[in-house]
Amino acid sequence: MISDNELISRAMDAWFQSGRAGLPSEASSVYEVDGQRYVELVNPSGTLAVYSVDGAGHLEQLGQWPKRPTTSPAHGSFTVDGGVRFIDEEEDRRPSRI
């Protein structure tokens, strides 16, 4: 499985290659909904883009995306309706190829 760090780097590369405005921050992260992984690029203004990740690690930018997980105070885990699980975002994030 491709690391979260690598997926975020790939998403950032795709974002910069698209020529769109806005600079993704280090708060960008990977999360999972019903077994599907997503990379969310964010900055202080909000979400810039969300990419779905296929089994081979390829990214596809989405026009609409599933609701992002929220913290569950009782367990310290990240859940939303339907068993959403947050994936660790504490890895180093260096740019790499898409």
Establish if 76 belongs to a structural domain.
Answer: yes
* Average pLDDT rounded to a whole number, residues 40-68: 92
What's the N-to-C CA distance of the chain in angstroms?
15
Does the residue 72 lie in any domain? yes
Residue 94 lies in a domain: no
**Which of the two residues, 54 and 72, has the higher pLDDT score?**
54
**Nearest Cα to Cα of residue 6 among 49, 59, 43:** 59
Residue 37 lies in a domain: yes
Pick from 97, 94, 78, 98: nearest CA to 5 = 94
Q: What is the pLDDT of residue 66?
A: 83
In a domain, 98, yes or no: no
In a domain, 67, yes or no: yes
- Overall domain count for the chain: 1
* 63 and 69 Cβ atoms separated by less than 8 Å: no
10 vs 4: CA distance, rounded Å: 10
Q: Around Cβ 94, how many Cβ atoms within 10 Å?
A: 10
Domain that holds residue 62: 4-86
pTM recorded for the entire structure: 0.69
The answer to whether residue 93 sits within a structural domain is no
